[in-house]
Structure 1
Amino acid sequence: MPHGVVKKIVSDRGFGFIAQGQGADLFFHHTSVAAPGFDQLHEGQPVEFDVDNGDGGGRRGDKGPRAVNVKPA
């Protein structure tokens, strides 16, 4: 499971970004955060996550990979 650090949280809009150390930052949505939940995350916090490359045919279009199953490390 990849690891990274929460780089930015936009709490009023329910999303954030994870710096993964190598490569582009990953977007994550509040619905992709496992317990204890989105409201418990903060900038600078180490997290682990899975990567969804967007090849599942959902509504995302070509926005690129995103973090899912995000949880504190």
Structure 2
Amino acid sequence: MEGHSEEEQREASARSDQLSRTRNTSKHKIVQHELLHIVGLYHEHARYDRDKYIKIHSGNIKPDRFIAKGCDT
């Protein structure tokens, strides 16, 4: 990095390393998540019997954020 002090270069390198670790961690989490789907684990809110166990209080949901998809509410 021409024109930058050693300290600035170290800081930029540290930020780059942190960003790289964050991206890799994120990718690993996504891969792990999808592998769990492959072995048969799914999201609790998507269970066929979820309406027996949860109650959605639609009054607590902002109108533009509520998407009814396959539930009894």
Whether the TM-score (by the shorter chain) exceeds 0.5 is no
TM-score, scaled to structure 1: 0.21
Could you say which structure has the higher helix fraction? 2
Which protein shows a greater Rg? 2
